[in-house]
A and B are shown apart, each in its own frame.
Chain A
């Protein structure tokens, strides 16, 4: 029953038929306009059900860079609730296996679900006890299939994941987005990082002639520089981040650190020209 008197007395709307059991042709192209409609309260077969959501609590960019002897990743400790800096101690870099780190940007609840999925996979692998362990490229393939499958069901995990690791002496760095697009490269940056940090990372790789000519120290300096630029220009970032380093020796996720920033650059300027 429609409880709003203002809606009474109008001619019956063709595209809403609450007693219909067939799909009504006129619904094509019209998206559902409310959560309750999606959830199915009072909706009949006339509407397609969709799950495609929007991210709620989100993390911003994750960066990754290959260097001589391993991979280094960076992500800040902020989970935003729209424009509110809601959770300021979130670890968006997660150690998955002895030589693999997962970085997550996008919806944080989907990230927590994926962490649970990966933990389950690692436990299964451990229980199988057959001498094999899941290496970084294997975890990457598993994650890619999960993401693509969800996208194909029109119910994506709203994240861009970065997976970095080392297996059999070879370093690995790749990203998978919410549509299930996998992308491997010597430098990875998600979100705003793809616009602000990727040019810097690519330029460094070009001038030095490849990841084999970047030392661990260099890589740390480059990523810190990128995190500084991101803090300056990404309005949903924070000056508190962690670095994850994966080498033959294993995974080290640093304590939260911050970069020096300069805000007095326009001290002598007054006004905006009026």
Chain B
């Protein structure tokens, strides 16, 4: 008897998948989601984590945003870089950030990086890769610094240095050449900047500026636009038109602001009964 009652359906609804693939076969052109192209990196150094990202968002071959922010806040001690579909990375990190805050209030403790990682991977796996979010999660908690990569299908890796996005190979070549364990802060930041710059200059999906976030057990430094290697050059001449270039034949000025004066008619108080 209970089988006749409507069963609650959890997870992702794949009902339209068959229809979509049939339409795709017939030549339907699906709208292109804004992707972040992207070079994102993270590494563990002596005192904690350094995360880095470029700032270009693309919609196909067009640059949609020249200076977007790809390093998202998750918790006071955790930040997440996002590559893939921009909307997905933005909303997923915001959702998990909110869940983490509720969790923090409930437990009364600082959130652990592995908690955020678990929340993210369980959600992404549930959606079977349909949420195009490829993330680099880094943070410092009671157990030290942790750095994870999370793929759209929900798999994770725990590593001392990671890169994601279309520029990940360019950035990884820099890391594989120069990464050593327990680097000093300046060295680590320079290496992250160089890796992102390799992505910016060698990958067409990445560009503009370098954002850096440094997380230690004591504090977090958000270095927005840490490097700006693509600033627009100063124009050599002024292209403003001299006043009088277009001859004025007639001018009439009308005041569109109505002038009002208020004259009180009686001194009685307002009746508010």
**Residues on A facing B (Cβ under 8 Å):** 192, 195-200, 202-203, 225-226, 228-229, 232-233, 265-266, 269, 271-274
Contacts and interface: CB of A to CB of B under 8 A. Distances in A.
18 contacts: A192-B169, A195-B169, A198-B202, A199-B202, A200-B174, A200-B198, A202-B202, A203-B198, A225-B177, A228-B176, A233-B169, A233-B173, A269-B158, A272-B155, A272-B158, A273-B121, A273-B156, A274-B156
B127 interface: no
A228 B114 CA distance: 32
Given A195-B170, A199-B202, A202-B202, A266 B177 contact: no
A269 B159 contact: yes
Contacts of B198: 199-200, 203
Nearest to A193: B173
B169 A196 contact: yes
Top 7 nearest A-B pairs by Cβ distance? Answer: A195-B169, A199-B198, A199-B170, A199-B202, A229-B176, A196-B173, A273-B158
A196 B172 contact: yes
A198 B156 CA distance: 29
A2 B194 CA distance: 63
Contacts of A266: 158-160
Given A199-B198, A269-B158, 12 more contacts: A195-B173, A195-B202, A196-B170, A197-B173, A203-B194, A228-B177, A229-B177, A232-B176, A233-B176, A273-B114, A273-B148, A273-B157
Contacts of A199: 170, 173-174, 198, 201-202
Among B121, B146, B202: residue with most chain A CB under 10 A: B202
Contacts of B194: 203
A235 to B, nearest CB: 12
B158 A200 contact: no
Contact of A272 (B157, B170, B172): B157
B202 A229 contact: no
A274 B146 CA distance: 13
Interface of B: 114, 117-118, 121, 146, 148, 155-160, 169-170, 172-174, 176-177, 179, 181, 194, 198, 201-202
Contacts of B114: 273
Contact of A269 (B160, B169, B170): B160
A232 B177 CA distance: 10
Contacts of A271: 158
A228 B179 CA distance: 13
Contacts of B157: 272-273
Contacts of A226: 173
A226 B176 CA distance: 9
Contacts of B118: 273-274
B139 to A, nearest CB: 12
Contacts of A202: 201-202
Contacts of A272: 155-158
A94 B77 CA distance: 55
A220 to B, nearest CB: 15
A203 B158 CA distance: 29
A229 B156 contact: no
Contacts of B148: 273
Contacts of A198: 202
Contacts of B181: 265
Nearest to B146: A273
A272 B201 CA distance: 32
Contacts of B170: 195-196, 199
A229 B114 CA distance: 30
Contacts of A233: 169, 172-173, 176
B30 to A, nearest CB: 20
Nearest to B144: A268
Given A195-B169, A273-B117, A200 B160 contact: no
A41 B176 CA distance: 51
